[in-house]
Amino acid sequence: MTISMYAASVPVAIHTLTSLSKILSKAAAHCEAKSIDPNAFLTARMFPDMFPLIRQVQIAGDMVKGGVSRLAGVDVPKYEDNEVTFADLQARLDKTIAYLSTFTPAQIDGSEDRDIVITMRDRTIETKGLPYLMGAVLPNMYFHTTTAYNLLRQGGVDIGKKDYLGTATP
């Protein structure tokens, strides 16, 4: 049995980003209930050389937005990185989820061997679709989502594994 590139990317990303959005809702409610300045979380870092929560959320979405776009052979939309509140981050995730929802299996299936070329400031990355999805896109999405979760959990937000997995009841 094989799994399609679409099934391994779009539904997985939508599910993960939806869970992240719900986690951010719980964090905002926690701040409100405990009279905590939301910036204590939004600018929190696990270590000085790591990105703060805001950037973790941005990157989690950007990885799959860019990954799915490249697999489909379309231009990657550019988002401003100007979020400063939980509501801003949720709006960004909503926009990313809506964008991902526009893709069809026909656009992404069969992209396993598609040439993926990413030009960065200091280098160019060349790979194929399957290793790009499995070795870069999904691991990065999970890494940054997990880091955001951990920053909030460490700060006392009442979230758990079921929230992360998206199986918690409201």
pLDDT tens digits along 70-109: 999 999 999 999 999 999 999 999 999 999 999 999 999 9
In sequence order, which residues have a C-beta less than 8 Å from that of residue 14 and are 6 or more positions away? 97, 100, 101
pLDDT number for residue 109? 97
H or E element that contains 54: helix 53-72
Residue 116 phi/psi, 5° resolution? -115, 120
The CATH number of 5-159 is which of 1.20.1050.10, 1.20.120.450, 2.30.30.100, 1.10.20.60?
1.20.120.450
Which percentage of the chain shows pLDDT scores above 90? 94
In sequence order, which residues have a C-beta less than 8 Å from that of residue 36 and are 6 or more positions away? 30
pTM tops 0.85, yes or no? yes
pLDDT-based confidence at residue 143 (cuts at 50, 70, 90): very high
DSSP 136: I
H or E element that contains 127: strand 124-128
pLDDT surpassing 70 at residue 1: no
Residue ranges per structural domain of the chain: 5-159
